[in-house]
């Protein structure tokens, strides 16, 4: 049986490698045979760079140890370096949303910088993997600690009361379909905090339910508890707030990995079910958001290509970031760098919100639109170039990789289901770094990690205090 499973795994791995290499070859061929716009002459280097990175670093890294961060990062880089170039050439669309397109020279430099960035990130992963190889093989600790529930139930009750007190938040909560209230971007701070409190309570309640099902299945062996756990996974994925599609994908990844740890023999069935439901949810959100069409509805292919450029930090957006450095030299000041780090942090950000300093994203959007319009994300490599120049531009991405590996090591050591879950969420979110920047990642992690861990710590501390008092009373009675 074990030999059969091993053969299946090997066959699936070979099939995956074949698909990726064929896609790289197809992308290279399509781009090479196409007639690129001025500045895109080096575009065919992108699929070649990914093929080399995948063969030498990414694939061996995934084989050595399956990390959520590496898996998400590999997928995002595949879309960025292989799929996006094909779309650019096939759609014959090389533009963007800026009224003043970047110079061809800037696009050439941006393409080469993307290749250089991938090389440095791959080197970082290779070095970290080599360090891990020299240590004893790491195995995920079995999740055996039952989550304490007192503060969690209290938090859930408080979040429900808060929703009733602020019914506008309820309209922003979706159940497999976006809520009628839509995005949370324009919500007040209080509304956002109430919604965020509910989402944390929802995830903690999910962990309580799935752990209860696991305990019951272990003692009774009845499959109905497996189906209840699977239902809890779908509900946890299906309840979301706002219209951020990344939140749904990340929650799905963490939820199915928790299920895999507790019910390994039933994982495949759940995985295929989740794979069917997620595209439907993402499509519903895309329809609901009604993002303005760059082609005015004339071509879905061009619209998809434009979205890839925006959300995956394509050559166009990286080129805009390079020109931002020349147009606004003050954007590279250390004060802006530290503001990018500390302003998005929960708690600290409120104290420095009124400082007369601008985000790097503000400078980027000023170059993009030459107005106060704020819709574009400065790519991480562009953000790095702004502060450290082209040679050290990938340093921010390398730092994110090191931090993700650190969180993964802590996750392997943890036996606690709450810690495993939240660190899985964090690692998956960091894996999206290709289309993000340091400011966004810090904001997401400071909110998601901080509140979750604070509630976890309070729950643990209060239970510990109660047990201590009980033990103190017992000791007094015995004396």
Domain ranges, ordered by start, for the chain: 2-138+293-400
Predicted local distance difference test score (pLDDT) of residue 5: 55
User: pLDDT over 90 for what percent of the chain?
Assistant: 37
Please state the rounded mean pLDDT for residues 154-180.
82
Contact 78, 20 (CB under 8 A): yes
Please state the rounded mean pLDDT for residues 163-175.
81
Predicted local distance difference test score (pLDDT) of residue 354: 77
Please state the rounded mean pLDDT for residues 281-303.
70
Q: What is the DSSP letter of 376?
A: P
Please state the rounded mean pLDDT for residues 397-413.
92
Please state the rounded mean pLDDT for residues 281-286.
76
Say yes or no to pLDDT of 479 above 60.
Answer: no
The per-residue pLDDT of the chain, averaged, comes to 84
Residue 82 makes CB contacts below 8 A (sequence gap 6+) with: 20, 23, 24, 27, 46, 47, 50
Please state the rounded mean pLDDT for residues 207-211.
91
Predicted local distance difference test score (pLDDT) of residue 464: 45
| pTM (predicted TM-score) | 0.87
Report the distance separating Cα 328 and Cα 332, nearest Å: 8
Please state the rounded mean pLDDT for residues 22-33.
95
User: pLDDT over 70 for what percent of the chain?
Assistant: 88
Report the distance separating Cα 226 and Cα 214, nearest Å: 7
Between 221 and 456, the more confident residue is 221
Report the distance separating Cα 382 and Cα 324, nearest Å: 9
* List of long-range contacts for 438-443, beta carbons under 8 Å, 24+ apart: 438/340, 438/341, 438/380, 438/383, 438/396, 438/400, 439/340, 439/341, 439/343, 439/344, 439/359, 439/360, 439/361, 439/383, 440/344, 440/377, 441/400, 442/341, 442/344, 442/345, 443/344, 443/345
> How do residues 44-101 score in pLDDT, each as one tens digit?
999 999 999 999 999 999 888 778 999 999 999 999 999 999 999 998 888 888 889 9
Say yes or no to pLDDT of 241 above 50.
Answer: yes
Between 122 and 5, the more confident residue is 122
Say yes or no to pLDDT of 475 above 50.
Answer: no
Give the residue carrying structure tokens 């781009």. 31
């Amino acid at each position: 049986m074990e030999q059969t499973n091993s053969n299946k795994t090997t066959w699936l791995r070979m099939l995956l490698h074949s698909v990726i290499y064929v896609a790289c070859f197809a992308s290279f061929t399509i781009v090479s045979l196409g007639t690129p716009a001025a500045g895109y002459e080096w575009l065919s280097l992108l699929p070649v760079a990914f093929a080399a990175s995948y063969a030498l670093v990414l694939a061996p890294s995934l084989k050595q140890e399956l990390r959520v961060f590496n898996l998400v990062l590999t997928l995002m880089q595949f879309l960025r370096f292989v799929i996006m170039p094909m779309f650019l050439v096939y759609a014959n669309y090389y533009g963007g949303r800026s009224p003043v397109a970047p110079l061809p020279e800037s696009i050439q430099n941006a393409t080469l910088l993307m290749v250089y960035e991938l090389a440095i990130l791959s080197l970082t992963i290779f070095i970290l993997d080599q360090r891990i190889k020299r240590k004893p093989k790491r195995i995920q600790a079995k999740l055996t600690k039952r989550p304490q529930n007192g503060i969690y139930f209290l938090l859930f009750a408080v979040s429900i009361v808060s929703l009733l007190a602020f019914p506008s938040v309820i309209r922003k909560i979706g159940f497999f379909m976006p809520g009628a209230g839509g995005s949370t971007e324009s919500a007040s701070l209080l509304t956002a905090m109430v919604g965020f409190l509910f989402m944390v309570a929802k995830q903690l309640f999910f962990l309580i339910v799935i752990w209860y099902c696991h305990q019951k299945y272990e003692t009774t062996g009845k499959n109905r508890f497996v189906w209840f756990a699977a239902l809890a996974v779908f509900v946890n994925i299906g309840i979301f707030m706002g219209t951020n599609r990344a939140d749904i994908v990340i929650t799905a990844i963490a939820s199915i990995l928790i299920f895999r740890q507790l019910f390994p023999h039933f994982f495949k069935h759940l995985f295929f079910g989740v794979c069917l439901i997620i595209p439907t949810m993402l499509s519903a959100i895309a329809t609901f958001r009604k993002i303005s069409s760059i082609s005015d509805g004339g071509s879905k292919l061009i619209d998809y290509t434009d979205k890839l450029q925006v959300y995956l930090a394509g050559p166009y957006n990286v080129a805009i970031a390079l020109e931002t450095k020349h147009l606004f030299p003050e954007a590279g000041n250390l004060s802006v760098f530290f503001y990018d780090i500390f302003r998005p942090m929960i708690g600290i950000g409120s104290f420095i919100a009124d400082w007369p300093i601008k985000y790097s994203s503000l400078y980027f959007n000023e170059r993009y639109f030459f107005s106060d319009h704020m819709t574009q994300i400065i790519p991480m490599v562009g953000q790095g170039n702004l502060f450290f120049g082209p040679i050290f531009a990938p340093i921010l991405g390398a730092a994110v990789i090191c931090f993700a590996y650190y969180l993964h090591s802590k996750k392997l050591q943890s036996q606690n289901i709450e810690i495993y879950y939240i660190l899985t969420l964090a690692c998956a979110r960091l894996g999206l770094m290709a289309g993000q920047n340091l400011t966004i990642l810090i904001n997401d992690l400071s909110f998601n990690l901080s509140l979750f861990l604070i509630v976890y710590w309070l729950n643990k501390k209060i239970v510990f205090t109660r047990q201590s008092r009980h033990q103190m009373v017992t000791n007094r009675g015995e004396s």
